[in-house]
Amino acid sequence: MIEVRDLVVTYGAATALDHVRLSVGRGEMVALLGPNGAGKSTLADTLSGILTPAAGTVEVTGRLAHIPEGRQLFPDLTVEDNLVLGGWRAGTRDPSPVFEILPALAGLRRRRAGVLSGGEQQMVAFGRALMSRPEVLVVDELSLGLAPIATRDLAAHLVELNRERGLTVLLIEQNARLAFGVCERAYVLEAGRVVAEGPCAELAEDP
Ligand code: ADP
Ligand code: ADP
């Protein structure tokens, strides 16, 4: 569902992605790992069409949603209004299917997003992405700034969506242990290049 070939992305004179190849098949849950500055968010932004390749191609089959690093909620709007805005492009205004998938959100629907905890805000960002009924979900740093329990809870929801609803997932993480726990396959990015790829079981043995 995601096919990236020889992708080059630059910021002015700086090359952020240097001939990157990556593919994610339907129903797969794949991790993209790497240190700060490796180019992970640049790849996510290219997949969602925010950035344009300098060279190479990016092919996405099906509707893609992206949970950006930093979440980017509207802090003064309620949870429900943040969700409704997330459905705007896809023409879905009813958040109830999302409340069924993420029941914790239903209890928060009237709260302002800005007063919620980091874990709750990430749940809202997750729900907002689901409002467009995506077939592919790109999650940029699920665990960023979250307590381990909130991270585990969100990861469990992701796994459920992947296994039970066939959602294809690209999980971008600095936390390799988390990613290895839920993904079968991973790519490791360093300084804009893929330096390792393969089954998580093999990569975990050879850090
Ligand atoms: P990341 O952890 O993904 O590298 P950062 O916190 O470094 O994120 O970046 C936050 C924001 O600043 C992003 O929108 C990113 O595109 C932008 N950014 C990162 N590095 C630079 C840079 N060298 N010059 C300008 N903007 C940058
Ligand atoms: P990661 O998400 O893996 O932390 P990024 O994709 O944010 O990495 O950044 C990759 C490289 O591109 C870094 O060197 C970063 O400083 C640079 N970069 C990111 N965003 C910008 C930007 N808006 N302008 C200039 N350089 C940027």
How many whole angstroms from 29 Cα to the centroid of ligand 1? 26
Task: Say which residue, 107 or 206, is predicted with more confidence.
Answer: 107
Pocket test residue of 11, 41, 48, 144 for ligand 1, highest count of atoms within 8 A of CB = 41
Q: How does pLDDT run across 151-205, given as a tens digit for each residue?
A: 999 999 999 999 999 999 999 999 999 999 999 999 999 999 999 999 999 998 8
Q: Is residue 37 lining ligand 1, measured as CB closer than 6 Å?
A: yes
Phi first, then psi, for residue 76 (nearest 5°) are -90, -10
Work out the pLDDT band at 86, boundaries 50, 70, 90.
very high
Ligand 1 atom nearest to CA at 14 = 23
- What would the mean pLDDT of 60-86 be, rounded to a whole number? 95
Asked if pLDDT for residue 89 goes beyond 90, the answer is no
Place of tokens 């009237």: 110
Asked if pLDDT for residue 207 goes beyond 80, the answer is no
Asked if pLDDT for residue 27 goes beyond 60, the answer is yes
Q: How does pLDDT run across 132-153, given as a tens digit for each residue?
A: 999 999 999 999 889 999 999 9
Asked if pLDDT for residue 114 goes beyond 60, the answer is yes
> According to the model, what pLDDT value does residue 145 have?
87
Characterize 147-166 residue by residue with b for buried, 16 or more Cβ atoms within 10 angstroms of its Cβ, and e for exposed. Answer: eeebbebbbebbbebbeeee
> According to the model, what pLDDT value does residue 206 have?
67
How many whole angstroms from 164 Cα to the centroid of ligand 1? 35
Work out the pLDDT band at 113, boundaries 50, 70, 90.
very high
Task: Say which residue, 88 or 55, is predicted with more confidence.
Answer: 55
Task: Quote the pTM value.
Answer: 0.91
Contact between 155 and 178 under an 8 Å Cβ cutoff? The reply is yes
- What would the mean pLDDT of 41-58 be, rounded to a whole number? 97
- What would the mean pLDDT of 72-77 be, rounded to a whole number? 96
Asked if pLDDT for residue 107 goes beyond 70, the answer is yes
Q: Is residue 190 lining ligand 1, measured as CB closer than 6 Å?
A: no
Atom 12 of ligand 2, residue of closest alpha carbon:
16
Range with the poorest average pLDDT among 23-27, 71-75, 201-205 = 201-205
User: Across all residues in the chain, what is the average pLDDT?
Assistant: 95
ipTM given for this complex: 0.76
